[in-house]
Structure 1
């Protein structure tokens, strides 16, 4: 499968989606991995988690247009980074899709989620009361997924573990469209960071993405 969707944000930033239709072995053959990565892949259970890890790495390789080995590590906060290439990266996956965002100039964050009714049950865990108040009854599920993806994208862009979606990431009121932008703020101790988060619905998935 080739790249299913690709969007350039500016001269230095873009994201893409890969629909995972291959078997794990087919994805594995497209990668060059070091011994630690090979051992990690061996530990992954066969199934979606395995396919997601391979799919994001294949997509990253396609976006960077290289057949060379890509040294992609994860820092102490769980944020992936490239050791020898001048790009900030963010990885995400959900069911049949992998998503990757890259930028030469800015930190980035991306999240993709398949839209399901279950989000309504957990909304109180990641939304503040004033945020729940602006959710449209006509588009409740979709707009809740926009909020989740936006907060996840901000979280990934910031790149530090000790951040609560409900207590540290605040969303401004917005009207739901199939694609759009909303304002977010990360507040933690003496840190205040403002973000303009973009979102779009793609098939039955929601995607949120942001530049730092």
Structure 2
């Protein structure tokens, strides 16, 4: 079973990473799904998404849960029945979950050249100044992940990546930083960490205490 990585963020927060190497049938015969999850799975058009969905359930087992312990609210945000916080992400060959006591968001993105082209749509491109091509791809992907992670935490309609979520300047060598959500006449601060797993950027955001 390819549990790729397990990271203890602190004594109450654990990140689990699964590298998806199994075929759909191999995963499906292991996992028990509640009816709503089974319907959702069978309605997915892409086998890649199906395998990612099942890999998330494999990670739940690693964390001591099952699909029956996971539910989604009306906004599509995942929750655990015991009140623990959970965030989930999946991209191509990997699925990740993070479980802990504090509000958090995680995002996993594959590194692609296209991210630099669309960067002006979601970030201040001055943050990419003086970087080479590879560094620009990595940093723009991290910034997208930061904004996606914060959005997952807040989960409110109307939040815009370019207009409401702003990252402080940071270096790829920092492996973390600070960002703000400026929305509905309030300013909230978040801290984030990031790392690179093979050809992916993994970002985790937390409410700043």
Query: How high is the TM-score relative to the length of structure 2?
Result: 0.91
Question: Unaligned stretches of 5+ in structure 1?
Answer: none
Q: Tell me by how many angstroms 1:190 deviates.
A: 2.5
- SS in structure 2 of the partner of residue 33 of structure 1: coil
Deviation at 1:191, TM superposition (A): 2.7
Moved over 4 A (4+): none
Deviation at 1:69, TM superposition (A): 5.3
Q: Identify the match of residue 104 of structure 2 among 90, 108, 112.
A: 108
Shift of 1:35: 1.6
**In angstroms, what is the RMSD of aligned CA positions?**
1.5
SS of the residue aligned with 2:54? helix
Q: Are 2:91 and 1:98 equivalent residues in the alignment?
A: no
2:31–2:57 Cα contact (<8 Å) kept: yes
Q: How does 1:57-206 map to 2 (within 5 A)?
A: 57-63=57-63, 65-66=64-65, 70-82=68-80, 84-103=81-100, 105-127=101-123, 131-135=124-128, 136-138=130-132, 139-177=135-173, 180-206=175-201
Q: Distance in 1 between matches of 2:184 and 2:162?
A: 15
> CA separation in 2, counterparts of 1:29 and 1:71?
19
Aligned residues: 204
- Which sections of structure 2, spanning at least 5 residues, go unmatched? none
Query: Could you state the TM-score of these two structures normalised by the residue count of structure 1?
Result: 0.90
1:22 matched residue in structure 2: 22
Whole-Å separation in 2 of the counterparts to 1:183 and 1:46: 35
